[in-house]
Amino acid sequence: YISTFVQKTDRITMNAVDVEAGTGSGFVWDTNGDVVTNYHVIRGAKAAKVAVTNAETGTIDRYDAKLVGFNPDKDVAVLKIDSPKKLVPIPVGDSAKLRVGQTTLAIGNPFGLDHSLSVGVVSGLGREVRSPSGRPITNVIQTDAAINPGNSGGALLDSSGRLIGMNTAIFSPSGASAGIGFAIPVDTLKYQVDTIIRDGKVTRSA
């Protein structure tokens, strides 16, 4: 569960204060405290906090997060938290072998309802959505698992609980889930995240 903050001036004291700007989702990538989310979740934020659920006890720990880097062209960002407890990375799957009809599980925080799970199938493959920078993101996974505002940056899993994508966008004339959600495939995420962790950014080729 990711909360982002912007700085505003308190009208009484005239001091700068952090005000919550929005919420989103994310997942633990490795044991070093790297957390993956969408770039649009943290865009424009001055600070972020990450709430992590302990895999063994179910308790929730909250941490201040530092921005490692991001790539707006793929709508990917990496945050880092300093946890004294052992972090359990998400099992990473393979999106190249996905087939239409396979079961999908979307985990996230729709409308701020933390750790919500919805179930669906892979509805389509090879879709294209527009990134925050305006560039296309290709090979996107389409799913009918309910994805709503707040699900952005959350994990899309297969029936074995392995990461196959990151929930990123919905097609919705009303603003709520219309059964058409899109996720960046994990095979794209692997390169993007590993490069951001190593270099702090992804250099776009000409």
Residues labelled catalytic: 40, 75, 152
**Residue 132: CB partners within 8 Å, gap ≥ 6?**
39, 40, 43, 72, 75
The rounded distance, in Å, linking the Cα atoms of 74 and 16 is 32
Please compute, for residue 142, the number of CA atoms within 13 A of its CA located in the half-sphere on the CB side.
13
In three-state secondary structure terms, 139 is strand
Question: Which of the 8 DSSP states describes residue 40?
Answer: H
Please check whether residue 140 is in contact with residue 128, taking contact to mean a CB–CB distance below 8 angstroms: yes
Question: Which of the 8 DSSP states describes residue 35?
Answer: E
Closest by CA position to 141, among listed 95, 204, 81: 95
